[in-house]
Structure 1
Amino acid sequence: MKVNKDANGYTFAFSIILVIVVGVILSSLSIGLGPLKKANVEVKKKMNILSALGVESTRKDGSEKYDKYITESYVISHSGNLQENLPAEKQAFSLDVQKQFRDKTVKVTDRLYPIFEAEKDGEKLFVLPVVGKGLWGPIWGFVALADDYETIVGTSFDHKGETPGLGAEISQSFFENRYNGEKIASNGTFTPISVVQNGSGSESQKVDGITGGTITSKGVERMVNETMEVYYKYFSKNK
């Protein structure tokens, strides 16, 4: 029987078949590329951790360098207590702190906080994930502390959709480096670090923010301070 290709039924049927075929192909590709996508996400995370340590890496050598510099990892609670016997998805590297931050069903006091111990040039360092909110969306990163548990020796910040040339500059080294040498505690007490404009303010602990990116800069301030205060609970107990 001859098919009338000009009929509406033919067009409709052809469209349905095309959608199904394309959907199957895309679904198959997504499933097939799943392990590769997961591997890319993992190596990117390792590169960001290394970046906070001041170690340059690529997707080719990121995993190798991570294994070289990161010596141990574990998780603490919001109250600063070590958490043991956690399921695989809540182990330090697997724990998705960004997802945890977005999940409104998770109370702040129930959040978990990973710690990555590292050794670089004979010195023990601690790399601590941070997560927060900028002007347009999530911001996140890693802060590296010296073995005095107080001095910041490196940071690595990133964002999802901050304004190019303004808030997006938090991921540039000139801003990240401003945190180097700052301390999260003084005389055994946690001390917040303020983000200010052009060195203004009377705070002893402060860094210059991004010109024109005040809201994002303040987002970094809250992100770092709120997270470092939790980590310092643990460090002050275990000095």
Structure 2
Amino acid sequence: MREDTRTLVFAASTCLIVSLLLSVTAAALKPAQVANEKLDVKKNIIKAFGVDISDKAEWTAEKIEEAFAQYISDASTDELQVYTWTDDGADAPSKYAFPISGKGLWGDIFGYLALQSDLETIAGISFYKHVETPGLGAEIEKPWFQTQFKGKKLYKEGAPVPFAVAKPGTPLTDTSVDGISGATLTGKGVQAFIREDAAAYADYFNSLKEGK
């Protein structure tokens, strides 16, 4: 066999072996990746309900699973995804959370938003997946940005409000939060999909009010 032929055969064999090893490794890691993704979603639903889970030493995977099982129930309908939070000893949910998502600057942003028992006031918000720019749009995942939402109004008298992610420095109202300097398009995206998702869930929350 010629030297150049042997080289090509060796290179092809090496590539095949490496490809097989990568495929086997990816397959082996897939269950763990799926489990981690599900855990991350649960963690962010808990966070949206206003729970401080910043202490990673305290909020282990086991504790997240335990809290989710103890306090949170899936109340989704055929068309809408909804989670409820029920306090210890309570007979009825005290908070309701639903998914929010839409376009940011570079891609889709995913999160959860929770309402207090009045079904109008925001209890908390979280973002668990995005591709926004670090130091700019990615600030949506930081506490300073997310804690602004708590206590703000998403609905008034059953109707969605024109919720705003305002330009930094703009006087705020009970239906707006400060935006992120240098990340105007990310803020506009968050504003747009919060309004859109609030409108999609308005009838559902109004039906809950009527049933109380």
TM over 0.5: yes
What amino acid sits opposite 1:114 in the alignment?
Q
Amino acid at match of 1:156: S
Unmatched 5+ residue regions in structure 2?
Answer: 54-58
Question: One-letter code of the match for 1:42?
Answer: K
Aligned pairs, number: 200
Which residue is equivalent to 1:68?
70
Q: Which protein is richer in strand relative to its size?
A: 1
Pair 1:113-2:115 in alignment: no
Report deviation, 1:238: 2.6
Question: In the alignment, what sits opposite 2:56?
Answer: none
Report the secondary structure of 2:147's partner residue. helix
CA distance in 2, matches of 1:196, 1:155: 17
Q: How far did residue 226 of structure 1 move? A: 0.6
CA contact (8 A) 1:154 1:179 kept: yes
* Comparing 43-52 and 53-62, the one that deviates more: 53-62
Aligned positions of 1:28-177 closer than 5 A: 28-55=24-51, 56=53, 57-75=59-77, 83=78, 112-120=79-87, 122=90, 124-177=94-147
Deviates more, 1:59-68 or 1:210-219: 59-68
Deviations along 1:184-229, one digit per CA (max 9) or x if unpaired, are: 2212322121111245379762111111111101111012111111
Quote the RMSD (CA, aligned, Å). 2.0
Q: In the alignment, which residue of structure 2 is the partner of 1:9?
A: 5
Whether the aligned pair in 1 keeps the contact of 2:162 and 2:175 (CA below 8 Å) is yes
SS of 2:182's equivalent in the other structure is: coil
Percent of pairs identical after alignment? 34
Contact (CA 8 Å) 2:165, 2:177: kept in 1 or not?
A: yes
**How far, CA to CA, are the matches of 1:125 and 1:192 in structure 2?**
22
* Alpha-carbon separation, structure 2, partners of 1:12 and 1:113: 56
Q: 1:210 to 1:202 in 2, by over 3 A?
A: closer
Q: Secondary structure at the match of 1:200?
A: coil
Structure 1 unpaired stretches of 5+: 76-82, 84-111
> Residue 175 of structure 1: CA displacement?
0.7
- What is the CA deviation profile of residues 138-179 of structure 1, one whole-angstrom value per residue up to 9, with x for unaligned ones? 112110101111110111124432122211111111111111
In the superposition, relative to structure 1, how do residues 158 and 36 fare at CA in structure 2: closer, same or farther (>3 Å)? closer
Q: Which residue of 2 aligns with 1:193?
A: 163
Deviation at 1:133, TM superposition (A): 1.0
Distance in 1 (alpha carbons) for counterparts of 2:172 and 2:101: 27
SS at match of 1:183: coil
Work out the CA distance in 1 between the residues paired with 2:8 and 2:38.
43
